[in-house]
Structure 1
Amino acid sequence: MSIPTYSYAGGGHGKSGKNETNVTGTFRNGQVGAGAYQKTRVQTEVDGNPSSSRTGSLSPTSTNWKPPACWYEPRFSPKELKSFIQRVEKTKFLNVGPMFADMFKSLFQTDKYDNYNMAKQGKGMFWVAVVNEKRKDEPEALSCRKPPFWVDKGETPKDPLAVSPRILAEYAYDQLPVPDTSITMSPDGKQTVNLDTWIWLNRAKFKPVSVTASLPNTNLSATTTATPVALTLEPGTKNAELHPASGECPISNDGSIGTPYSADKKNQTPPCGITYLRSTNNTGPHHLKATLTWKISWTSTNSQRDTLPDGTFGTTTDVTVQEVQAINR
């Protein structure tokens, strides 16, 4: 589902130094909708970014939870809002400046405030709805339907979607760049019927990753950390035995998952692995899926801390199994 929109660019200062305020509004039956959506000013930084350039986004294990699709955050001072509307009025683009100005005045409901609250300059901000770009096509992106509203300095809006450390932490969840779940196997390449396949992860690659989300010019900041905790194997066929039987390889005390094979382990059962029982001569390769589970926690500048639903990210490897009576690793 996409948000039906119009947009206007102008206003505040972007990285280029030019005026760069992007505003999106919604239409309902030909009329301007109740909400004004802008690009968030939340900034993110990654710590512990994996060296691999192949990264993905986590899928929450809880089906009842998603990172936020929209929220409200402080954006305009009275002077900035008044200046923004005046710039729209003066635009000559297709001679529709006055029409856009009237549209924005209606959208922002500026008639509710005497002269854009100029008497309160420096004593608060107008808060606006912003959309998570990664989730702008989800139905939840239309949840923030309030027009820009005034909040006195030092006060927090009584709205569950007002930006907060938790919302920043949940937004950071969406930005976590977890590495591709590429496994190492022994034997490497083709596998052999009834011969154990040892599987493990590169400990240097799979380590905690953190993203800090902060809102400039406020004291709001939260750091969300993803820590790998278990690898789940799905062999891609019923004709296989998993090690352990659950297919879930836990993380060891030293932070490793699975154990690299070595000659002295020849007669041992792998702590993490698979034994294929039939060849793929007549079926084509098995699709071995390896899914890594990440435990998620967060902390904030106001000492709040909590957990968020675990996340998973997996990849699939094609495995060919051959029938050989004797094999040297």
Structure 2
Amino acid sequence: MRFKLSWLAVGVATGALALLPSTAFGWGTPGKSNGQKTETGGKRDGTSIVSRVTFSGSTGGTTKSGGGNVMPVGNWTPPACWYEPRSAQEFSKYVEDMYNDTINTPGQHSYAKAAVGMFRNEYKDGTYKNYNLDKEDEGNWWVAVVDEDRWMEPEAQACDKQPFWVENGETPPVANAVTPKVLAELAYNRVKLPTTEVTLAPANTTKVNLPTWSWLDKAKFKDVSVTASLNAGGLNIQATTTAKPIALKLEPGTSDAETYPASGECAINADGSIGEPYSKGKADETPPCGIKYLRSSGDGTYELKVTITWQISWTGSGGTGGDLPDGTFGATQDVTVQEVQAVNR
């Protein structure tokens, strides 16, 4: 994860480090932890402190069989930045180590040394005295953290307040100060969903004007959840975000097709399955969930897109909980459609 300060940016320009007032200074190393590994408080990774938020559950990456991240419906996105607490000891160690590393690095630009020196003075000998170490038991420093997978997004610049002190029992006076709900939103961004490949009958190869049945068994499609936890600065909270499949949408991959139902959206059944398996004797029936292709795919295939809508809810520490925006995840599968004069089943 990346910590940042609101008044300073260190960037590379023509080989030199430049001081850019009124912007952000990134603390961290993109591509390292993504908050998914358990880290000890104040642990340094080079000149960074990683986030203390950890994740467990269905956070694994995509597999050979498919799968991927849930995508929110609408314009909502999980936070790209937030604020976490740090003890006075942790904060002072980080700043002192950063200062010493910068000052003692051969060839370091004077702008970088001046910027780090200004920041150190603010908390050691300026507005605050010696990092409030004498108030260790009375409160914590709160610092901005940026999701290292999203640090280039404009939303990542929203947490632009430099580290600030909060007394025990007081609420941090900023948006996105970490809470069970914020943890739930962060967990949302790390939910990995299974492949959405449906079972088809006929399988893979179907015929023109022949209804193709499609379905998902309950046993193959279950609720998925991720738990986000934070234990730092005397704060010990967690939240579990759960995704539940509620609907399936079929997009045939060509305009020369009809879907069942006409909207292409198949609702989930009472037992948790979607659609209905084909069985002998149903040849003349209309499938509750399926497709009818009206034209051959020739020497190629049609890309049938299958998208699952997931209902997202969460529960957290202290009896908290609620709903988050629905999410979707889709994938494609190839379907061959052949032209025939007659079909006998």
Common topology (TM > 0.5): yes
1:295–1:310 contact (8 Å) kept in structure 2 = yes
Query: Which residue of 1 is the match for residue 81 of structure 2?
Result: 70
Superposed counterparts of 1:72-91, under 5 Å? 72-75=83-86, 77-91=87-101
Tell me if structure 2 keeps the 8 A contact 1:36–1:128.
no
Q: One-letter code of the match for 2:211?
A: D
Q: Which residue of 1 aligns with 2:261?
A: 244
Shifted more, 28-37 versus 237-246: the winner is: 28-37
For residue 159 of structure 1, what is the aligned residue in structure 2?
174
Match of 2:302 in 1: 286
Rounded to whole Å, the distance in 2 between the matches of 1:36 and 1:172 is 25
Partner amino acid, structure 1, of 2:80? A
Instruction: Indicate the larger mover: 166-175 or 128-137.
Output: 128-137
SS in 1 for 2:140: strand
Which residue of 320, 337, 343 corresponds with 1:321? 337
SS of residue matched to 2:312: strand
Cα distance in 1, alignment partners of residues 275 and 168 from structure 2: 53
Equivalent of residue 40 in structure 1, options 46, 51, 69: 51
User: Is contact 2:99-2:116 (8 Å) kept?
Assistant: no
Question: CA separation in 2, counterparts of 1:219 and 1:79?
Answer: 18
Q: 1:302 aligns with which of 318, 322, 333?
A: 318
Whether contact under 8 Å (1:240, 1:274) holds in the other structure is yes
Given the alignment of the two structures, is residue 255 of structure 1 paired with residue 272 of structure 2, yes or no? Answer: yes
CA displacement 1:237-274 (0-9 Å, x = unmatched): 22211111111000000000111211132222111100
Q: What RMSD in Å do the two structures reach over aligned CA positions? A: 2.7
Measure, in 2, the Cα distance between the counterparts of 1:141 and 1:249: 37
Amino acid in the other structure paired with 2:331: T
Match of 1:5 in 2: none
When residues 159 and 172 of structure 1 are mapped into structure 2, their CA distance, relative to the original with a 3 A threshold, is same
Q: What's the counterpart of residue 213 of structure 2?
A: 198
Please state if 1:174 is matched with 2:189: yes
* Residue aligning to 1:60: 72
Q: Identify if the C-alpha distance between structure 1 residues 149 and 48 changes in structure 2 by more than 3 Å, giving closer, same or farther.
A: closer
2:34 alignment partner in structure 1: none
- C-alpha change, 1:223 and 1:248, in structure 2 (3 Å) is same
Deviation at residue 24 of structure 1 after TM alignment: 5.4
Q: Size of the alignment, in residue pairs?
A: 306
Quick one: which amino acid aligns to residue 296 of structure 1? I
Instruction: Tell me if structure 1 keeps the 8 A contact 2:10–2:112.
Output: no
Question: Residues 81-137 of structure 1: CA distance to partner in whole angstroms, max 9, x if unpaired?
Answer: 333333334434326499766533534632220121122112111111101123222
> In the alignment, is the contact (CA less than 8 A) between 1:279 and 1:321 conserved in 2?
yes
What letter corresponds to residue 190 of structure 1 in structure 2?
Answer: T
Structure 2 partner of 1:136: 151
Q: Give the 3 Å change call, closer, same or farther, for CA 195–219 of structure 1 in structure 2.
A: same
**Aligned sequence identity (%):** 47
Identify the residue that residue 216 of structure 1 maps to in structure 2. Answer: 231
Unaligned runs of 5+ residues in structure 1 are 1-20
Give the alignment partner of residue 273 of structure 1, picking from 290, 302, 306. Answer: 290
**Alpha-carbon displacement from aligned partner over 1:39-62 (angstroms, at most 9, x marks no partner):** 421111116989966321111111
Which amino acid in structure 2 is aligned with residue 45 of structure 1?
A: S
Kept in 1, the 8 Å contact 2:241–2:313? The answer is: yes
Which of 135, 138, 141 pairs up with 1:123? 138
Residues 325, 196 of structure 1: alpha-carbon distance in 2 compared, 3 angstrom cutoff: same
CA apart distance, 1:191: 1.3
| Separation in structure 2 between the aligned mates of residue 243 and residue 262 of structure 1, nearest angstrom | 17
User: Does 1:233 find its partner at 2:244?
Assistant: no
Shift of 1:79: 2.6
| Equivalent position amino acid for 1:175 in 2 | R
Aligned counterparts of 1:85 and 1:49: Cα–Cα separation in 2: 34
- 2:100 and 2:109 map into 1 onto residues whose CA distance is 6
- AA aligned opposite 2:296: S
Deviation at 1:286, TM superposition (A): 2.1
1:219 Cα deviation from its structure 2 partner: 2.7
